[in-house]
Chains A and B, each alone.
Chain A
């Protein structure tokens, strides 16, 4: 019983540990906002369904460090994205850019929507051109 109480006390009183360097990186709130928006859009390649903002593997923290350095050096967001894509490929960005290789990702939803639209219109047209058979319904009743 004693041991259980102690164990529970330890479990509930322990403070969650944040290994991620999530603190303020920049004094300037505008820079901080840019930094946060960039790291929320970059994929951690070790843990591929996390952004480098959410991951604490060292590759993510290395990339955060590099992004902080580039922001300090005055690079634009696009230049930082170029830096990452040149090293890790399109997959590193959660929102891949429009290019020959990623075009299908961007166009496929529109194509599918268009295809669905055509099917719906065709089905509706055919149904509209059918004779309305109220009388035969009533006759059957």
Chain B
């Protein structure tokens, strides 16, 4: 009897391990920045190259930082939703234009609308590296003190907003 029992036990243990392993999306990595202070930065503004935009601009409020670029298809997908979110005015959205070119980025905002309070222009991707960005669109949720509460990779939409962002925003506001 025991010679059959052991393989059955091993089988019973392995199956859930495999099911969990196969169901996980391994391309989406947890950010090591979670629950840490978001990296400080200063960059030129996308709209005005002489003006500096940086982490100091959004200190003191719960904020979204959205990483986007004109070459990124997912960014176009989520843009309408970001416009909607900006219109609702629940949280300010800051843009980090990542590894992009100014002219197409500006015409993108002109054509599709500008949901961002301010947009920083990260031409060579150095700030992107500090933030651990590897696939736009990425959206960070920052607490009032700059702590990274959540990071979402791939386009934003209402479902992600209500399931992942809202509860964290409410918790952060409630704990104050």
Interface residues of A (CB under 8 A from B): 45-46, 48, 58-59, 62-63, 65-66, 85-89, 91
Minimum-distance CB pairs A-B, first 9? A45-B134, A87-B132, A62-B125, A89-B32, A88-B132, A91-B29, A58-B99, A59-B134, A89-B29
B124 within 8 A of A: yes
How far, in whole Å, are A66 and B129 apart by their CA atoms in the complex? Answer: 9
Question: In the complex, what residues of B have CB within 8 A of residue A59's CB?
Answer: 125, 128, 134
Question: In the complex, what residues of A have CB within 8 A of residue B126's CB?
Answer: 62, 66
Which residues of chain B from 80 to 139 have any CB-CB distance to chain A below 8 Å in the complex?
99, 124-126, 128-132, 134-135
Q: How many residues of B contact A (CB 8 A)?
A: 18
How far, in whole Å, are A45 and B28 apart by their CA atoms in the complex? Answer: 10
Interface pairs (21), CB distance under 8 Å: A45-B134, A45-B135, A46-B134, A58-B125, A59-B128, A62-B99, A62-B124, A62-B125, A62-B126, A62-B128, A66-B126, A66-B129, A87-B33, A87-B129, A87-B130, A87-B131, A88-B32, A89-B30, A89-B31, A89-B32, A89-B132
A-B pairs with beta carbons under 8 A, tally: 40
Question: In the complex, what residues of B have CB within 8 A of residue A45's CB?
Answer: 29, 134-135
B131: min CB distance to chain A, Å: 7
Question: In the complex, what residues of B have CB within 8 A of residue A88's CB?
Answer: 29, 32, 132, 134
Which residues of chain B from 18 to 50 have any CB-CB distance to chain A below 8 Å in the complex?
26-27, 29-33
How far, in whole Å, are A56 and B130 apart by their CA atoms in the complex? Answer: 20
Interface centre among A48, A62, A65, A87 (most CB of B within 10 A): A87
How far, in whole Å, are A28 and B130 apart by their CA atoms in the complex? Answer: 28
Question: Contacts A45-B134, A46-B134, A46-B135; is A62 near B31 (CB within 8 Å)?
Answer: no
Closest A-chain residue to B26, C-beta based? A48
A138: min CB distance to chain B, Å: 30
